[in-house]
Amino acid sequence: MKESRISCEEVVERLFDYLHREMDGDTSAEIERHLERCHDCFSRAEFERKLRERIAGSGQQVAPERLRRRIREMIEQF
């Protein structure tokens, strides 16, 4: 396996592009190699992945009537 030369700081800086698959294959592969050997960066990447999944899934739930009523009241006050 090829050694990763990317630093933790670079991984964190590029993490969102990596998770969105908005980078070239070589850079993506280098980040993947780094994540395979760096527990801290891997944990952060996994946290971000899971958070994004939960946020994406939450948009499909209907807010309870009580919450919708409170939001309407707050909007009407302005």
CATH fold label, 8-77: Arc Repressor Mutant, subunit A (1.10.10)
Q: Which pLDDT value is given to residue 56?
A: 82
Q: How many residues does the chain have?
A: 78
CA distance 50 to 34: 19
Beta-carbon-side half-sphere exposure of residue 38 (alpha carbons within 13 Å): 21
pLDDT tens column, 16-39: 999 999 999 999 999 999 999 999
| Ranges of each domain in the chain | 8-77
| Crossing angle between the packed helical segments 8-19 and 25-37, to the nearest 10 degrees | 120
Q: Is the predicted pLDDT of residue 3 greater than 70, yes or no? A: no
Give the Cβ contact number of residue 70 at 10 Å.
12
